[in-house]
Structure 1
Amino acid sequence: MLKFEIPNRETIQAEYLVLDYNGTLAIDGKLLPGIKEKLNSLADDIKIYVVTGDNFGNARESLKEVRCECIIVQEKIQQQYKKEFVTKLNAAKVIAIGNGLNDALMLKEAALSMIVLQKEGASVKTLINADMVFSSVIDILDALDNPLRIAATLRS
């Protein structure tokens, strides 16, 4: 479990990390450098799910050495699927990370949500649903390892 004590907000006790793949963990279908190590380190404390439409057809292979569950979404409405997935896990215990429009509802639903603005860009509608914005997914994963960074940004 990852615990975040944020002044003037309920403490977040996250048991699940739900991430998008393309545009978040990968650019043009290629897993970004350092992701495997960062996710495997976090996997000691939190259950990790990568939920993706897998546009490039290689997410599962790219993540084979990562301690996570890769879920390929076939549904046309990925946004709704991702939201329902977070809800079924218990949204109050979920950290969600994404960048695309299909991530908007899962970010809105999760207890703590982050959007990453990398080479693929990010949906403005998704941005509105995020608690935090980062320029790199590595920075997000580092922040999850340092709860004071999260508290400093989200305190009121």
Structure 2
Amino acid sequence: MIALTVPGWGEVRVAHLVLDYNGTLAADGTLLPGVAPRLEAIHRLGVSLHIVTADTNGTAAQQCAALPVELLVREGGAVAREKAALVERLGPGETAAVGNGRNDVDMLRAAGLSLAVIGDEGAFSGALLAAHVVCRNIAEALDLLLLPHRLKASLRG
């Protein structure tokens, strides 16, 4: 688990991380460079990893096969509901979420800590507004969890 105290914010506890795939962890269906080692490092900290995706490119299972993640592939409109429902089941107070798209908005709103990324696909404006922190790319977002002093600097009040 990742835990830190942020002045003006309070306790941040991350036992679970829920992530979008395409546009967040991957571009055009291919996992972005540096993502795998960062996810493995976060997992070693005791954080469970969950990827929920519509799998637009049909590559998520193959690309994530060697990663310590639970992969959930959902069709169309069900993916947005499933992302938010998973955060609720895991416990919003100990769950962080990372996404970039319209179907990530409810997940980002539900999570105790939410990070939006602006990657190769860009980002839906509603996702940016729903997030606690906006990052330029997935490497920066995952590094906030691995280097929590950066997260503390962004959240402190």
Q: What are the equivalent positions in structure 2 for 1:1-156 lying under 5 Å apart?
A: 1-45=1-45, 46-74=47-75, 76-156=77-157
Q: What CA distance in whole angstroms lies between the structure 1 residues aligned with 2:65 and 2:9?
A: 37
What is the identity, as a one-letter code, of the residue corresponding to 1:23? G
SS at match of 1:11: strand
Please report how far the alpha carbon of residue 16 of structure 1 lies from its aligned counterpart in structure 2 after TM superposition: 0.1
Q: Which amino acid aligns with 1:60?
A: A
Provide the rounded CA distance (Å) in 2 between the counterparts of 1:82 and 1:39. 18
Q: Deviations over 1:21-73 (max 9, x none)?
A: 00000001111011111101111120000110101111011011111111101
Query: What amino acid sits opposite 2:153 in the alignment?
Result: A
Aligned equivalents of 1:75 and 1:29: distance in 2?
Answer: 17
Is the 8 Å Cα contact of residues 16 and 93 (structure 1) preserved in structure 2? yes
Q: Helix, strand or coil: the match of 1:43?
A: helix
Distance in 2 between residues matched to 1:86 and 1:103, nearest whole Å = 11
Whether the 8 Å CA contact 2:4–2:12 is kept in 1: the answer is: yes
State the TM-score, normalized to the length of structure 2: 0.96
Q: Any idea what the Cα deviations from partners look like across 1:71-104, whole Å, max 9, x if unmatched?
A: 1012523222211110011111100000000000
Deviates more, 1:69-78 or 1:99-108: 69-78
How many residue pairs are counted as aligned between the two chains?
A: 156
> Is the 2:100–2:127 Cα contact (8 Å) retained in structure 1?
yes
Unaligned runs of 5+ in 1: none
Moved more, 5-14 or 116-125: 5-14
Q: Aligned partners of 1:127, 1:4: CA distance in 2, in Å?
A: 23
Question: Quick one: percent identity of the two aligned structures?
Answer: 35
What is the RMSD computed on CA atoms of the aligned residues?
1.0
- Mark the runs of 5 or more structure 2 residues left unpaired by the alignment: none
Whether contact under 8 Å (1:18, 1:94) holds in the other structure is: yes
